[in-house]
Structure 1
Amino acid sequence: METVDIQATLVAYAAVWNEPDEYHRQELIEQIWCENGVYEDRQHRVTGCQALREYIHAFQKRYPDLRIELTGEIVVEQEHVSFTWRACDPDGLAWLIRQDRATLTRDGKLQSIIGVLTE
């Protein structure tokens, strides 16, 4: 994982959540997400690019004004990467702050994202 630009991958991942155009969002997902990648939080588990696209689309419809922002430092722990992010409204108020743990493939694609802490 040393040769992979983890920061760029996670910035692209946040951009996926903020992308309003469904087709462009799908292109971005395919660039950074494994075909059988898993996203999991306390309430949901989705597998694959198509399922992730649909999950993000539903999130955007439910919370149209929220934007995802990476916060804090990225910590590499053996084969996992921990990072924090927040979902903010247009006034900058954080509605959700979370720390996630990611696993990346050797070529830098996200293999899994698991939410490990929610405030």
Structure 2
Amino acid sequence: MKGTAMNDLMTTYLACWNETDPAARRTLIDQHWTEQASYSDPMAQVRGRDAVDATIGAVQDQFPGFVFTPAGPVDAHHRQARFTWGLGPADAEPVIVGFDVVVTDDDGRIDSVLGFLDKVPA
């Protein structure tokens, strides 16, 4: 995957995290994540679409009204991309900032995510 495809991947990935309707979020996950996708960050380590969906729902419950936004360009090569994101109230400075490394399968679906937190509230 190159350039535009990886930018589209980041947009789709953040859309999954921002979708608050459970059925719509699950549709996005089913379309764009592999069946056994893994997600790991300092707060969670899960495998499979059900677990990814539950993790996203838990983050939304913990930070109601917050949205994920891109906070820089996508850096990509081969089937992986890294990008910085912010999480906070819409149209406000992010409260949390992190970056994720996303690896896709041959069809461009998300297969694994490694997340890192750069800024968290005290």
SS for the counterpart of 1:113 is: strand
Structural RMSD (CA): 1.8
Identical columns (%): 28
4 and 74 in structure 1: CA distance in 2 versus 1, 3 angstrom threshold: closer
Match of 2:23 in 1: 23
Whether the 8 Å CA contact 1:36–1:47 is kept in 2: the answer is: yes
> 1:116 aligns to what?
116
2:81 is equivalent to residue 81 of structure 1: yes
Structure 2 CA distance, aligned partners of 1:46 and 1:91?
30
Q: How does 1:35-46 map to 2 (within 5 A)?
A: 35-46=35-46
What is the CA-CA distance between 1:90 and the residue it aligns to? 3.4
Aligned pair count reads 119
Give CA-to-partner distance per residue, 1:41-62, whole Å, 9 cap, x none.
0121011111111111111111
Task: Decide whether the 8 Å contact of 2:46 with 2:52 is kept in 1.
Answer: yes
TM-score by length of 1: 0.90
Name the counterpart of 2:68. Answer: 68
* 5+ residue gaps, structure 2: none
Deviation at 1:3, TM superposition (A): 9.1
User: 1: distance between equivalents of 2:78 and 2:116?
Assistant: 17
5+ residue gaps, structure 1: none
The answer to whether the Cα contact below 8 Å between 1:4 and 1:107 also exists between their aligned partners in 2 is no
Aligned to 1:106: 106
Contact 1:4 1:108 in 2 (8 A): no
Deviations 1:24-57 (CA, angstroms, capped at 9, x unpaired): 1000011111111111001210111111111111
